[in-house]
A and B are shown apart, each in its own frame.
Chain A
Amino acid sequence: MSTTNKPIKSSSRPARTLAILALVLVAMASLVFIQGATSVRLGLDLRGGTSVTLQPRIAPGDEGKVTSEAIDQAVSIIRQRVNSLGVAESEVAAQGSGTNRQIVISVPGDTGRRVVELVGQTAELRFRQVLASASGIPAAADAAATPAAGVSAEINAKFAALDCTKPENLQGTGADSPTDTLVACDRAGGTKYILAPAEVLGRQISKAAAGLDTQAGSNWFVSLTFNGEGTSAFGALTTRVTSLPEPTNQVAIVLDGLVVSAPRITEAIPSGNAQITGSFTQLEAQDLANVLKYGALPLAFDRGEVQQVSPTLGADQLNAGLLAGALGLLLVVIFTLLYYRALGFVTVGSLAIAGGMLYLLFLLLGEWIGFTLTLAGIAGAIVAIGVTADSFIVYFERVRDEMREGRTLRTAAETGWVRARRTILVADFVSLIAAVLLYVFSVGGVRGFAFTLGLTTLIDLIIIFWFTKPALVLVSRSKFFNSGHPLSGFSSKSLGMSVAKEA
């Protein structure tokens, strides 16, 4: 029956393979040490904090208009707002792909309501006439004595006191009302402005692009086209301000309460086509064009999910996860030792190494890609104990089958491997497909489950190829296992061979 068997590599060197694996583990451990990754980054559900998932809300008919850049812009606006809270390790990230992305905001600790309120508002782009401008630091008492004309004393006082070097004044809130006079900083914090009520709105822009003026050397500019409504509003605004004195001839482009740019209007623009020129670098021009494009389609977001976990519950969940893991591991170890006797120790060793490798990877991935371990992730790792142990069982049962064919353990460990390998590869690959698709098609915390499940399936493959198989080949050479000791898991009795003789 073995006529078509593939030739068995007699040159397999189990000790060398094991040594390589040991080296890999040592290398990983030193990498962890070098990177200074001392602890696994825990998700907010394990240490407490607030996470908000936002879903872009697209008005019917606007489906095609939401671009990936618009969402990137929204992410950066929200990030700016969240960073202003000054909480370390806050994160704003887009999940998913294309325009169907969710924005996930996670802020550790107890800032609950503020986060929810901060990220809730839609950021809008507006054009406002500049009424006064000054350097971003608070004005001295005498400078405040020259108030801008036509502005209330209250606004003037606010303007004088405004300190654009403070981070809290550089956060957008989305709370700037278009009908109010506004006091605002520019994005860099270098200049502060008093701004008139908005006259042109972002959604009245129909097109914006960065371009290079080749005739005048290498000057980058931003071209801007308004729709019908925008054309007349922008025409009226520019006609009125162009002859006014500095700085009232400037029009500020305000996004989320911050001045992005405040170009001087050099002529009335009734055509609806405008160019913003200046000493832009390519990056600056493109950035401004993106802001304007985003403004053309103010993305509203629905709060998909808000989760506030107290540190107490976080600790409870972490403990429960660890307890469940320990219990699951213990049960599997007991089962394999009872069933496979001494052979079970190969399984226990494999699980221990798989566990160690997973822990090191958690540490490294935390450093490299910001991997955070969530409760669902812990569950995935525990479930994976089963997947990992399953491959050993497939292999061991195969070896026992080979021995039932009359092979010695030594040969069976190799012939059984050739056949078990295929089964394990196919089965693990199916698990991997499941994990990848789960990851792609799930949102929020449950992604962690898919991630660890996929990661552990890969580890399972490494372990069975580089540890379990060579370890079994190695022990198959020992007298204890080869003689069919009753406790070895390979005795003829446990294989059912003596039973067969009696039958």
Chain B
Amino acid sequence: MSKLSGLGGRLYRGETSVNFIGRRRRWYTLSAVFVLLSIGALALQGLHLGIEFKGGSSFTVTTQNPSVTQARAAVAEAGVPGEAIIQVLGDNKVRVQTGALETAQNNAVQDALAAKFSVAVASIDTQIIGPSWGKEITRKALYGLLGFLLVVMIYLAMALEPKMAFAAIVAVVHDVFITVGIYALVGFDVTPATIIGFLTILGYSLYDTVVVFDKVRENTKSITSSSTKTYSQAVNLAVNQTIVRSTNTSIVALLPVASILFVGAGLLGAGTLKDLSLALFIGLIVGTYSSIFIAPPVLAQLREKEPAMMALSKRVNARGGVSTEASSTPAAAINGRGPRNQPKRKGRK
């Protein structure tokens, strides 16, 4: 751990520096591939929606050594139309999922299962979802998503900078896209809890991005008054300075989520805990990636287009510095500069 802490010191002083900004094409390409894969998976396979979105009934019987055959026989006796999905969860639960049923049919399935497995009807956990329920949830989730993006964009534009807000939102949209893509690709069940997980990722992913951007803002406060660094270089330093922090906050955020996932999937087999934490788990990893590799380069690119920053780049280049603009610059040139050109970071406030 102290090695990592030592690294933090070197990163802070800019002695060890990873060129996040200069190599942005590499990250963009990587993300583009993932986003394209996500779109492909969504288009070809689609999301595996839970019964909450399609309407239907779900019955879970808790009993010793349940078998799918027994459950299937019970469902057949109840005379339920259509194909039922029957799964054994953990070592003592069996779950039967059917299409939308009438109240009487639901009761019949409960009775048949109770008789077949010799359990009380009241001990069968039942979930009945109306056909329009999913639409309602989806509609609300979409409103929530749009409302969130709008409010956060306005807030970040005020609290930080407008371009930072834009870059942060680009990163967040990227996160949600890839996370949803992974769901389509792997075929995980999407339930309302998953949707909540997706929406929560937004807040989380932004937490990391805010930490990085706040440092960027500090490092670039009076950047145009000197000619030591270009905007991109200042952003790169900020990312390097905060990378230990981002990594730590992500690990600390992931640990509880991982434990929910572990307990939820291991002990309960399925349900709210598993669905929620799986979405968070995947989203957090993608979010950490984007707050380092996507949001800062996008910001740097946006700001470098400003006349003041272009003038700054010119001045810095004239002084013999190497611009990080465009990936044609070998990254090693920047790494090799070491502390010589960044002695005490006079540009800081």
User: Chain A's nearest CB lies how many Å from the CB of B186?
Assistant: 21
Instruction: Judge whether A442 and B144 touch: CB under 8 Å.
Output: yes
Say yes or no: A335-B192 contact (C-beta < 8 A), given A110-B122, A323-B267: no
Give bound CA distance, A386 to B248, whole Å. 10
User: Chain B's nearest CB lies how many Å from the CB of A292?
Assistant: 29
User: Chain B's nearest CB lies how many Å from the CB of A390?
Assistant: 4
Q: Mark A60-104, 1 if CB is under 8 A from B, else 0.
A: 000000000000000000000000000000000000000000100
Instruction: Judge whether A397 and B245 touch: CB under 8 Å.
Output: yes
CB of A113 closer than 8 Å to a CB of B:
yes
CB of B240 closer than 8 Å to a CB of A:
no
Q: Mark B254-284, 1 if CB is under 8 A from A, else 0.
A: 1111111011100110011100110010000
Instruction: Judge whether A449 and B196 touch: CB under 8 Å.
Output: yes
Task: Name which of A144-152, A222-230, A425-433 contacts chain B.
Answer: A425-433
Instruction: Judge whether B203 and A431 touch: CB under 8 Å.
Output: yes
Q: Which of A15-68 contact B (CB under 8 A)?
A: 45, 53, 55
Instruction: Judge whether A393 and B6 touch: CB under 8 Å.
Output: no
Instruction: Judge whether A312 and B144 touch: CB under 8 Å.
Output: no
User: Chain A's nearest CB lies how many Å from the CB of B340?
Assistant: 13
Give bound CA distance, A498 to B5, whole Å. 11
CB of B103 closer than 8 Å to a CB of A:
yes
Task: Name which of A180-188, A201-209, A302-310 contacts chain B.
Answer: A302-310
Instruction: Judge whether B200 and A419 touch: CB under 8 Å.
Output: no
Task: Name which of B34-42, B123-131, B227-235, B319-327 contacts chain A.
Answer: B123-131
CB of A444 closer than 8 Å to a CB of B:
yes
Residues on A with beta carbons closer than 8 Å to the beta carbon of B132: 55, 302, 304
Residues on B with beta carbons closer than 8 Å to the beta carbon of A387: 204, 207, 253
Instruction: Judge whether B273 and A386 touch: CB under 8 Å.
Output: no
Closest A residue, CB atoms, query B127: A307
Closest B residue, CB atoms, query A307: B127
Give bound CA distance, A113 to B103, whole Å. 9
Residues on A with beta carbons closer than 8 Å to the beta carbon of B126: 112, 306-308
Task: Name which of A123-131, A365-373, A377-385, A468-476 contacts chain B.
Answer: A377-385
User: Chain B's nearest CB lies how many Å from the CB of A56?
Assistant: 11
Most buried by A among B13, B127, B202, B249: B249
Give bound CA distance, A325 to B103, whole Å. 37
Chain A: interface secondary structure? helix
Give bound CA distance, A404 to B259, whole Å. 35
Q: Which of B177-211 contact A (CB under 8 A)?
A: 192-193, 196, 199-200, 202-204, 206-207, 210-211
Residues on A with beta carbons closer than 8 Å to the beta carbon of B130: 55, 302-305
Instruction: Judge whether A305 and B127 touch: CB under 8 Å.
Output: yes
CB of B251 closer than 8 Å to a CB of A:
yes
Closest B residue, CB atoms, query A494: B5
Residues on A with beta carbons closer than 8 Å to the beta carbon of B107: 113
Instruction: Judge whether B9 and A499 touch: CB under 8 Å.
Output: yes
User: Chain A's nearest CB lies how many Å from the CB of B132?
Assistant: 6
Instruction: Judge whether A382 and B348 touch: CB under 8 Å.
Output: no
Instruction: Judge whether B148 and A433 touch: CB under 8 Å.
Output: yes
Closest B residue, CB atoms, query A102: B136
Task: Name which of B25-33, B68-76, B151-159, B309-317 contacts chain A.
Answer: B151-159
User: Chain B's nearest CB lies how many Å from the CB of A468?
Assistant: 14
Say yes or no: A494-B6 contact (C-beta < 8 A), given A1-B345, A310-B62, A441-B147: yes
Say yes or no: A386-B206 contact (C-beta < 8 A), given A310-B124, A317-B271: no
Q: Which of B4, B121, B199, B259 contacts A327 (CB 8 A)?
A: B259
Q: Which of A303, A430, A499 contacts B128 (CB 8 A)?
A: A303
User: Chain B's nearest CB lies how many Å from the CB of A435?
Assistant: 7
Instruction: Judge whether A320 and B263 touch: CB under 8 Å.
Output: yes
Residues on A with beta carbons closer than 8 Å to the beta carbon of B84: none
Instruction: Judge whether A503 and B15 touch: CB under 8 Å.
Output: yes
CB of B344 closer than 8 Å to a CB of A:
yes
Give bound CA distance, A370 to B128, whole Å. 26
Q: Which of A303, A323, A445, A453 contacts B263 (CB 8 A)?
A: A323
Most buried by A among B5, B123, B156: B5
Instruction: Judge whether A434 and B155 touch: CB under 8 Å.
Output: no
Closest A residue, CB atoms, query B280: A383
Instruction: Judge whether B267 and A496 touch: CB under 8 Å.
Output: no
CB of B244 closer than 8 Å to a CB of A:
yes
Say yes or no: A437-B214 contact (C-beta < 8 A), given A397-B244, A503-B15: no
Instruction: Judge whether B267 and A308 touch: CB under 8 Å.
Output: no
Q: Which of A45, A386, A394, A437 contacts B148 (CB 8 A)?
A: A437
Q: Which of B123, B207, B258 contacts A431 (CB 8 A)?
A: B207
Q: Which of A270-305 contact B (CB under 8 A)?
A: 302-305
CB of A328 closer than 8 Å to a CB of B:
yes
Residues on A with beta carbons closer than 8 Å to the beta carbon of B260: 324, 328, 379, 382-383
User: Chain B's nearest CB lies how many Å from the CB of A416?
Assistant: 12
Instruction: Judge whether B273 and A438 touch: CB under 8 Å.
Output: no
Residues on B with beta carbons closer than 8 Å to the beta carbon of A233: none
Say yes or no: A324-B273 contact (C-beta < 8 A), given A310-B122, A427-B210: yes
Instruction: Judge whether A313 and B256 touch: CB under 8 Å.
Output: no
User: Chain A's nearest CB lies how many Å from the CB of B109?
Assistant: 12
Residues on A with beta carbons closer than 8 Å to the beta carbon of B144: 437-438, 440-442
CB of B137 closer than 8 Å to a CB of A:
yes
CB of B66 closer than 8 Å to a CB of A:
no
Q: Which of B8, B206, B277 contacts A496 (CB 8 A)?
A: B8
A-B residue pairs, 9 tightest by C-beta: A496-B9, A434-B203, A441-B144, A328-B256, A386-B253, A306-B128, A496-B6, A327-B259, A324-B263
| Chain A to chain B contacts (Cβ below 8 Å), 24 pairs | A1-B344, A1-B348, A55-B133, A120-B103, A302-B131, A304-B132, A305-B127, A319-B267, A324-B259, A338-B1, A376-B272, A379-B277, A383-B253, A386-B254, A387-B253, A400-B8, A401-B241, A404-B12, A430-B152, A433-B152, A441-B141, A450-B196, A453-B200, A500-B13
**Chain B residues at the A interface, C-beta cutoff of 8 Å:** 1-2, 4-10, 12-13, 15, 52, 60, 62, 103, 107, 121-133, 136-137, 140-141, 143-144, 147-148, 151-152, 155-156, 159-160, 192-193, 196, 199-200, 202-204, 206-207, 210-211, 214-215, 218, 241-242, 244-245, 248-249, 251-260, 262-264, 267-268, 271-273, 276-277, 280, 344-346, 348-349
Q: A55-B130, A113-B107, A324-B256 are in contact. List 17 more A-B contacts (CB 8 A).
A: A303-B128, A303-B130, A306-B129, A310-B62, A317-B273, A328-B260, A332-B255, A335-B252, A339-B248, A389-B252, A427-B206, A434-B203, A434-B206, A445-B272, A496-B8, A500-B9, A500-B15
